[in-house]
Chains A and B, each alone.
Chain A
Amino acid sequence: MHMADALLSPAVGGTMWAATAATTVYCSAKVRHSLDEHKVPLMGVLAAFIFAAQMINFTIPGTGSSGHLGGGLILAILLGPYAAFLAIASVLTVQCLFFADGGLLALGCNIFHMGTIPCFLAYPLIYKRIVGDQPSRARLLTGSLLGAVIGLQLGAFGVVMETTLSGISELPFSSFVMMMQPIHLAIGIVEGLVTAGIISFIWQARPEIMEKAAADQPIGALPIGKILIGLATATVFIGGILSWYASQHPDGLEWATARITGNKELKSSSEIHQSLQGVQQQTAVLPDYGFKEKKEGDSGRLGTSVAGLVGGFTVLLLALAIGLLLKRRGSVGHDHSHDHSQPHHH
C-alpha cells in the first residue's frame, strides 16, 4: 500500500515531505550524538536484511495466500526508534528509485506511514509499554500484534487521507476507508505474528542481543519521542487542513496565481480558448464537436478540446522523434575511444 505521486497534490505531498525531512534530520542528529558507532554498520546491514526479507514470500497457514514482512517494528526493536527510522527511510528510498514504488514525491508519505508511525507511535507507545524491560513470550506476541496492527491501520488511514485531500482520485473517503482498513487489518496481523516469531527466535538463540537492544532503549528514555510525535501529528493535521482548504479552490498553483495576478485564469489561456472556439466554428471539419463544461471555472483547465487532442498527438510524435534522433546520434558518435577518467574523482 504505497502512496503514488500520481494520486498526490503538491500541497499534500509537500507537507508530508517536510514532516519526513524534519524527522530525518532529527533522527540523524540523535544517532550521531549517541556515540554508538557500532550502530552505523548495524543500521546498514539490518536495512539490507529487511530489504531482502521483504522479497521472500511465505504461505499463511490456513489461508494459502502469501504474505511477507514489512519490518518496521523489528527494526525499531533492534535498533531503537531513531536508527530504525533512518534504516526504514533508506529502504523505502532505494525501493522508490529502483522499483518505482510510488514515486519521489510520495516518498515523504511512504516514509511517514512505514517509518514514523512504527518507530514513534507503535514502538514506544504500544510495543514498549506492553513488553517493558522484561520480555516474556506472551508479552512479545501481544506487543508485536497490537503494535503492528495499529501501526498499519494508522498507515492505511494516512494513505486514505492523503489521497482524499489531494483530490485526484474520485474515491470518496468512506468507500476508500472501508476498503483499506480491513485489508490492512489482515496484513497487520500477519506482520505482528512474524515480528513476534522472529524476535522470539532471536531471544531464544541469542538472548544477549535482545538484552542489549532492550538496554539501549530503556523505557524511560523516550519522552522526547513523544514530543516528536506531537510535532509530526500537528504538522500533518495543519498541513492536512491547509491542503484541504487549498483543494477546495482551483488547484493550488492556479489559486496562488489567481491571488497574485488577480485573474481567475491566466490571460494567455483564455485567449487561446477563444481562438480555439473560433477555429472550431470555422473549420467544422468534424461536426458535433464541443466540450461540455463540467463546472464554472473549469473551462480553462480542460485541455481536452479538439485542438488539444490533435496537439497532443503531435507533441507525442515530436517527443518520440527527438528521442530517436538523439539516440541515433549518440550511438554514431560513440565509435571513438573515450577517456576513462571520470571527472568526479580528481
Chain B
Amino acid sequence: MSHHIVEVKDLKFHYPDRTPALSGVSFKIRHGESVAIVGANGAGKSTLLLHLNGYLSPVEGQVRIGDYQLTPETVREVRRTVGMVFQDPDDQLFMSTVFDDVAFGPLNLGFTPEDVSARVEQALATVGVSHLRDRPPYRLSTGQKRRVAIASVLSMSPDILVMDEPSAGLDPRARSQLIELLRSFQHTKIIATHDLDMVVDLCERTIVMHDGQISADGPTMEIFSDETLLAASCLEKPLRMQGCPVCSCKG
C-alpha cells in the first residue's frame, strides 16, 4: 500500500466539443489530509472532482486512488473508497425517505439487510439526523438535506470524502455545525469550495486552480496571505483575513 492515497498525474481533459477543462493537473494527497480546492468559477474544480470517482475519464494522464489505478474495471472498487457529495442535495437524495437514501449505497455494495440497517443508523447518528430517519426528503431543510447527503456517503465507509461546495446555501448556524461535523471526521477530505473562511477552519492544505491548471499547492495560510497569487487566480482573501492588521501588512 503506497504512501499516498490519491495520486493524480498530468491529468488532461476536454469536453466532447473540444472545450478544454483540465490542462495537466498533478498532485498527491496523503492519508487523513484535508485539502481544499479553490478557484474561480470555470477553473475546473468540479471537473477535477468528477475524475476522482471515475465519472469522467481522463483524455490523458492517470488517476490512482488507494491501491487502484482508475480504469473502467476498477471503477466499482474505487467508488467504495471515494464518497462524493455533490452541490445540489436534491440530486443526491432521490429515494422516498432518508433511511432509503442512506441505505442505497450499502445495498448496492451487497451488504445484508441487517448490516445495511446498522450502517444507516450509525451514519445518521454521526451526522446527527437519526430523528429524521423516516422523513421524505422534500420535508427537510437545506442544512438537513446536506447532512443526510453526507450520511448517504458515510454509510459506505469510504476512506476519502470528496465534497463540492458543502457550505453553499446554509444559514450561519447550519454552516458552523457542518464545519464542526467535518472537523470531527478522520477521513481524507478533498473539498472544492468558494467558502474560503471554511477552508481556513478545515483544511491545512489548499490547491488553487486557474484555467484548468494548478497555480498553487501548499499550506492554506501561506496561500491566503499571498495577495498576488490570489488576484491572479481571481480570488480574494478569506473575509476574516481582510482588514486584519497582521495579515494586511504582509505582501
Report A-B touching, CB under 8 Å.
yes
User: A217 to nearest B CB, angstroms?
Assistant: 21
Q: Kindly state the interface size class of chain A when it binds its partner.
A: under 10
Q: A345-B99, A346-B117 are in contact. Are A41 and B134 (CB under 8 A)?
A: no
Please encode chain B, from 81 to 108, with 1 for each CB lying within 8 Å of some chain A CB and 0 for all others: 0000000000000100001000000000
Report B-chain residues with C-beta under 8 Å of the C-beta of A345.
99, 117, 133-134
Report B-chain residues with C-beta under 8 Å of the C-beta of A346.
117
Interface-centre pick from A41, A342, A345, A346 (highest chain B CB count, 10 A): A345
Report B-chain residues with C-beta under 8 Å of the C-beta of A44.
94
Please measure, in the bound complex, the distance between the C-alpha atom of A129 and the C-alpha atom of B134, giving whole angstroms: 48
Across the two chains, which residue of chain B brings its CB closest to A44?
B94
Within 8 A of A (CB), among B210-250: none
Across the two chains, which residue of chain A brings its CB closest to B133?
A345
Please measure, in the bound complex, the distance between the C-alpha atom of A345 and the C-alpha atom of B99, giving whole angstroms: 9
Please encode chain A, from 32 to 72, with 1 for each CB lying within 8 Å of some chain B CB and 0 for all others: 00000000010010000000000000000000000000000
Please measure, in the bound complex, the distance between the C-alpha atom of A346 and the C-alpha atom of B61, giving whole angstroms: 47
SS class of chain B's interface: helix, strand, loop or mixed? Answer: loop
Within 8 A of B (CB), among A2-46: 41, 44
Q: A342-B134, A345-B134, A346-B117 are in contact. Are A41 and B94 (CB under 8 A)?
A: yes
User: A279 to nearest B CB, angstroms?
Assistant: 56
Across the two chains, which residue of chain B brings its CB closest to A345?
B99
Across the two chains, which residue of chain B brings its CB closest to A41?
B94
Across the two chains, which residue of chain A brings its CB closest to B16?
A208
Please measure, in the bound complex, the distance between the C-alpha atom of A346 and the C-alpha atom of B121, giving whole angstroms: 12
Across the two chains, which residue of chain A brings its CB closest to B94?
A41
Report A-chain residues with C-beta under 8 Å of the C-beta of B133.
345
Report A-chain residues with C-beta under 8 Å of the C-beta of B117.
345-346
Please measure, in the bound complex, the distance between the C-alpha atom of A44 and the C-alpha atom of B99, giving whole angstroms: 20
Report A-chain residues with C-beta under 8 Å of the C-beta of B94.
41, 44
User: B88 to nearest A CB, angstroms?
Assistant: 13
Please measure, in the bound complex, the distance between the C-alpha atom of A346 and the C-alpha atom of B103, giving whole angstroms: 13
Report B-chain residues with C-beta under 8 Å of the C-beta of A41.
94
User: A42 to nearest B CB, angstroms?
Assistant: 12
Across the two chains, which residue of chain B brings its CB closest to A344?
B134
Within 8 A of B (CB), among A326-345: 342, 345
Within 8 A of A (CB), among B93-147: 94, 99, 117, 133-134
Across the two chains, which residue of chain A brings its CB closest to B131?
A340
User: A211 to nearest B CB, angstroms?
Assistant: 12
User: B155 to nearest A CB, angstroms?
Assistant: 15
Please measure, in the bound complex, the distance between the C-alpha atom of A41 and the C-alpha atom of B99, giving whole angstroms: 19
Please encode chain B, from 15 to 51, with 1 for each CB lying within 8 Å of some chain A CB and 0 for all others: 0000000000000000000000000000000000000
Please measure, in the bound complex, the distance between the C-alpha atom of A27 and the C-alpha atom of B133, giving whole angstroms: 33
Please measure, in the bound complex, the distance between the C-alpha atom of A342 and the C-alpha atom of B134, giving whole angstroms: 9
Please encode chain B, from 58 to 97, with 1 for each CB lying within 8 Å of some chain A CB and 0 for all others: 0000000000000000000000000000000000001000
Please measure, in the bound complex, the distance between the C-alpha atom of A44 and the C-alpha atom of B134, giving whole angstroms: 21
Report A-chain residues with C-beta under 8 Å of the C-beta of B99.
345
Please measure, in the bound complex, the distance between the C-alpha atom of A342 and the C-alpha atom of B97, giving whole angstroms: 13
Please encode chain A, from 232 to 268, with 1 for each CB lying within 8 Å of some chain B CB and 0 for all others: 0000000000000000000000000000000000000
Please encode chain A, from 305 to 345, with 1 for each CB lying within 8 Å of some chain B CB and 0 for all others: 00000000000000000000000000000000000001001
Q: List 8 A-B contacts (CB under 8 A).
A: A41-B94, A44-B94, A342-B134, A345-B99, A345-B117, A345-B133, A345-B134, A346-B117
Binding site for A on B (CB under 8 A): 94, 99, 117, 133-134
What would 5 more interface pairs be, CB under 8 Å, given A41-B94, A44-B94, A345-B134? A342-B134, A345-B99, A345-B117, A345-B133, A346-B117
* Those 6 A-B pairs whose CB atoms lie nearest each other, nearest first: A342-B134, A345-B99, A41-B94, A346-B117, A345-B134, A44-B94
